[in-house]
Amino acid sequence: MILVTGGTGHLGANLVRRLVADGHQVRVLVRDTGAAQGALDGLPVQKVIGDVRDRASVSAAVDGCNRVFHCAARVSTSARGHRGIYDVNVTGTRHVLEAAWHSGVQRVVVTGSFSATGNPLGRPSTEDDPHYPFEEHTPYTRSKVLVEHECHRAASQGLDVVVAVSTAIVGPHDYRPSRMGRLLLDFAHGRLLAYIPGGFEFVSTQDLVEGHLLAMAHGRPGGKYLLSTEFRTVDQMLDLYSEATGRPKPRLRVPAPMMHGLARFMDAPRAVLAPHREPRFTPAAVGFLRSQRRADCSRSRTQLGFRPGDIAQAVEQAYRCFVDRGLVERARRSQPAPAGRGTAWSVR
C-alpha cells in the first residue's frame, strides 16, 4: 500500500493517477470528502480523512503502508500567513516522517521546493547549493528550507527519506487551480492584459511524477534531486499559451522593476480588502521571474535516469483538461499541437 498526502493538489492528483495506472494500491490522506471532489473522482483509491497537522490522523493514515509520497504543502508567494504555512509544511512533514519511522515504512519521498535551494551567481543551481538565509524570503520558502531540515533529521535517525524538488508545475488535473493554472485560465478568457519579462524553470506534471517515482526506486537515502523539464522565458511561455488557446498574447509588456514596485504598493491595501485571496503577482512572484533562475538536473539524470520531456505538451494538456472540465467555454483549436512545436514560456 502506498500513501499519498496532498493527493488533491496539482502534483498529487497526477501522481495518484499514475500509481493507479501502474497497478498499485493507493491510500490518500484528504482533509475532507469535499476536498477530494474532482481530483480523485472515479479513482479506485482508499480515502482517509485527516490532516497532516494532526499527529494521530497521520499515524492512522501511514499505518499499513510500506511507501509514502508526502506531497501535501501550503504553497504561497505572499508575505503573510506565517503560522498556517509553518504548521502545514513543517509540522506536517515532521508528523509524516515520525509516523513513517514508527511504522517501519520502507521509504518516504518528500516534495521539496526549488526556492529552498541556493541561487549561486553565474551558474545554475545544484542540489549542493545551500539556501542563503540573509535575503528577503517568503514564509513559504523559509518553511520549505525547514522541511529539508526535517528530512535530514529523520534520515540521521535511520529513516529512508528522499527529497524530490519541484520547480514551477505545468500540466493537467489542476483542480484548485494552481497559480500557473489560474494564469492559463486568465489568458484563455482574455483577462491577462499585460505581462512582465523574466523566466523560470518549469516542470511538466508528467516529468515531476516520473521524477518522484524514480526517486522512490533509485534515489540515495537522504538524497535530494532537482526536477525540471526546461527553462522558459515569460515571452516563450505566453507564445505556448497563445498556441494552445488561439488567443494572442498581451501587447503590454511591463518592465519588471515597475511591476515589482506596483506589487509592493498594492500589497498592504490588498491584505485589508481581500485578505484571503492570493494575488496573481506578489512582490515575491515578480522577484522569482526577474531572477531567471536555472536548475542543473545532472544528478537526477545520472543517479535516477531522469529524462524530461517537453513543456509545450504540458501546456496543451493543461488547457485541454480545463476545456474538458468546462472551465474554458470552448477549445479554440480542433487538434492538439504536436509535441515540441512552437517557439515556446511564469512558481513552486
The answer to whether residue 183 is domain-embedded is: no
- Is residue 83 a contact partner of residue 143, using CB atoms and an 8 Å limit? no
Q: What is the pLDDT of residues 248-300, one digit of tens each?
A: 999 988 876 666 566 565 665 655 555 555 666 666 666 666 678 999 999 99
Identify the pLDDT of residue 345.
31
The answer to whether residue 68 is domain-embedded is: yes
Cβ neighbour number for residue 196 with a 10 Å cutoff: 21
* Counted domains in the chain: 1
The answer to whether residue 239 is domain-embedded is: no
Distance CA 285, CA 347 (A): 7
Q: In terms of DSSP H, where are the helices of the chain?
A: 10-21, 55-62, 82-86, 92-103, 139-156, 179-188, 205-218, 234-245, 256-273, 283-291, 298-299, 311-324
- Is residue 289 a contact partner of residue 232, using CB atoms and an 8 Å limit? no
Identify the pLDDT of residue 138.
87
Distance CA 219, CA 211 (A): 10
The answer to whether residue 175 is domain-embedded is: no
Distance CA 345, CA 165 (A): 20
Could you give phi then psi for residue 252, rounded to 5 degrees?
-80, 115
What's 47's domain CATH number? 3.40.50.720
Identify the pLDDT of residue 337.
39
Cβ neighbour number for residue 186 with a 10 Å cutoff: 14
Cα angle vertex 155, ends 151, 160, to 5°?
100
Identify the pLDDT of residue 344.
29
The answer to whether residue 240 is domain-embedded is: no
Distance CA 86, CA 94 (A): 11
- DSSP-derived secondary structure letter, 61: H
- Is residue 261 a contact partner of residue 57, using CB atoms and an 8 Å limit? no
Label residues 209-227 b or e (16+ Cβ within 10 Å = b). bbbbbbbbeebeeebbbbb
The answer to whether residue 79 is domain-embedded is: yes
The answer to whether residue 73 is domain-embedded is: yes
Label residues 37-58 b or e (16+ Cβ within 10 Å = b). eebbeebebebbebbbeebebb
Taking 50 as the pLDDT cut, the residues of the chain under it are: 331-348
How far does CA 245 lie from the centroid of its chain? 23
Could you give phi then psi for residue 93, rounded to 5 degrees?
-65, -45
CA distances from 319 to 155, 172, 226, 244 (A): 40, 7, 26, 7
Q: Cell numbers at residue 290, please? A: 526577474
The answer to whether residue 275 is domain-embedded is: no
Identify the pLDDT of residue 257.
67
Range of the domain at 98: 2-169+201-231+295-304
